[in-house]
Every structure is written in C-alpha cells, then in structure tokens.
Chains A and B, each alone.
Chain A
C-alpha cells in the first residue's frame, strides 16, 4: 500500500514569500501530524489533526498554519518566510490518535529560504 506522500520534495523560496506543503496520509489513517526538523532544534512539533480538527499546536508563530481535508489529506502553510524557516518538514500519519500506533512518516519536504 502507498505510504505517506509529501509534495514537493524540495522547495526554494525567497524571504517574505509564502509556501504551502502537502501531505497525503496512508489510506485509512485519520491522524496527521507535522514536524519541523533542523540540525539545531531537532524535531519540533507543529500541528496534529484528526478528522479535520486541529487537536494540538506547537509553539510556533501564527505564520505557521495548517488544515486537514475530509479525505484526511493535510496542508501546512507558512507565510512571510524567514531564513530560519529553512528546514525539513515531516508529515506523519497514524491510524488513530492514541493507542500503540506509531507514526508512519513521509520523506519530508526540504524547504530552503534564501
């Protein structure tokens, strides 16, 4: 079965621009989470969605937003990009919110802000 698909894989943007990243979870998975990974900060939690509802939000500024659609696909948007937003953005899906279900991660979108 298809894994978690993230598009695009690579992205180069200019400071001040905005960007939208997409994540298609494994079929049947209803929980989608987003993480920002950088060498200095490691894996930082951005959002968690379940059945189109944002269940949790990490400590990121309001420039970071997201949503989940009825087919469980999710998008995250970053407005007014800053150099520090350069990172690997990982999407992870899970069958349910809790329990012993580990995440299945996508390959990530590597965003470079210049």
Chain B
C-alpha cells in the first residue's frame, strides 16, 4: 500500500529565512512521482514541484527545491528566502503505477511566515 507521512502539523519561519517541510513515503512501486502542492487560505491547490523516482538530481523550481533521498524514502520541500505570501498549507503527494496512476496526499503542514 502507498502512504505519505507529513509529521509537522505546523511550522513557523522568519521572513527571508529558509524552511524545510518534511515528507516521507512508502510504496512498493519501482517507479513513482513525488509532488508538492500549496493551498493558501483562499482554498485553491497550486502545484509547486515534481520529482521522479529515477531522477538523479533534486528538482528545483525558483525558490522551491525538493531534497530527495530515495533510500530514506523522503522528499522534503525546501523553501528559500521565505515570503509572507508563503504562509499556507503544503501537501506532499505521490503518484505510483500500482493499480493506475492515482495520486495520494499527506495530511499537510501549515506554514506560518513571520514578519
């Protein structure tokens, strides 16, 4: 069975500092994709970054980078130079190949950026 675990219900970070949001996963699929989404208080879900299980390099998208450690089954999101607008819920997600391409989500981490 596939599982995503986000152990940090809430995180605080000072504006302009970097923050790491943790995500661990469990799957028996040899090939899978890992995603991070942001959900601001307005409610819409925004796709941030993708990491494929066979990608050799960590994914980066602007201020977002994914620290992928395959052996540890972790896919932590690093946000550099935090901004007030980064305050939101962040969801880690995984899509595998077993039984189709469904994507499962973790419980989320609420990030608060302090001025």
A and B from one complex: yes
Q: Using CB atoms and an 8 Å cutoff, list the residues of chain B in contact with chain A.
A: 33, 35, 37, 43-48, 50, 52, 91, 95, 97, 99-108
How far in angstroms is the closest Cβ of chain B from A24? Answer: 16
B91 touches A56 (CB 8 A): no
* Interfacial residues of chain A within 73-114, with CB under 8 A of chain B in the complex: 88, 90, 92, 97-100, 102-108
B101 touches A45 (CB 8 A): no
Instruction: Give A33 to B95 CA distance when docked, in angstroms.
Output: 12
- Given the known interface contacts A88-B43, A103-B45, A105-B45, the answer about A42 and B102 at a Cβ–Cβ threshold of 8 Å is no
Instruction: Give A95 to B21 CA distance when docked, in angstroms.
Output: 28
- Which of chain B's residues have a CB closer than 8 A to the CB of A100? 33, 50, 52
- Which of chain B's residues have a CB closer than 8 A to the CB of A11? none
A-B contact count (CB 8 A): 59
Of B45, B50, B99, which is in contact with the most chain A CB atoms at under 10 Å from its CB? B45
B44 touches A45 (CB 8 A): no
Q: 26 A-B contacts, Cβ less than 8 Å apart?
A: A31-B101, A33-B102, A35-B105, A42-B105, A43-B91, A43-B105, A43-B108, A48-B100, A55-B100, A55-B101, A56-B99, A56-B102, A88-B43, A92-B45, A97-B101, A98-B95, A99-B33, A100-B50, A102-B48, A102-B50, A103-B37, A103-B47, A103-B103, A104-B47, A105-B37, A105-B44
Interface of B is mostly: strand
Q: Which 4 A-B pairs have the closest CB atoms?
A: A102-B47, A105-B45, A43-B105, A56-B102
Instruction: Give A48 to B104 CA distance when docked, in angstroms.
Output: 12
B97 touches A98 (CB 8 A): yes
Instruction: Give A13 to B62 CA distance when docked, in angstroms.
Output: 43
